Amino acid sequence: MKQVIVVRNDLKLGKGKLAAHVSHASLAGYRLVKEKEPEIIEEWEREGEKKIVVKVDGERELFELYEKIKKEIPCVIIKDAGLTQIAPGTVTCLVIGPWKDEEVDKFTKDLKLL
């Protein structure tokens, strides 16, 4: 079981902003899966709550990935509130799962670690 967070590399977010958005994404994915598939969350927690952070070049690549995944695996797009570094509503990342490793890997295995 794993959760993958896909970050837009083109935004060049500061370390703090990036950490905050990865945290937002992780929690959003957790809440979504817990509501729909609580047994998946229980297994993920038993296995150590593995999280992987990867990158894509930009918004288009992020949305293309989202469109491929959304019918098979719970996932959420994360947007910024616009209070600091970037404009309100800017899409920053995508969270996939937590979900089964092999199913997530079908979509993310070629993405580079952040």
> Which token pair is 50?
């593995």
CATH top class, domain 2-113: alpha beta
CB burial of residue 59 (10 Å; 0-12, 13-18, 19+)? middle
Would you give the DSSP letter of residue 67? H
The pLDDT score that the predictor gives to residue 81 is: 82
Residues paired with residue 2 on neighbouring β-strands, in sequence order: 99
Q: What predicted TM-score, i.e. pTM, was given to this entire model?
A: 0.95
Show pLDDT as tens, one digit a residue, over the chain (114 residues): 999 999 999 999 999 999 999 999 999 999 999 999 999 999 999 999 999 999 999 999 999 999 999 999 999 999 988 777 788 899 999 999 999 999 999 999 999 999
* Burial call 78-111: b when 16+ CB within 10 Å, e when fewer: bebeeeeebeeebbbbbbbbbbeeeebeebbeeb
The pLDDT score that the predictor gives to residue 11 is: 95
The pLDDT score that the predictor gives to residue 22 is: 97
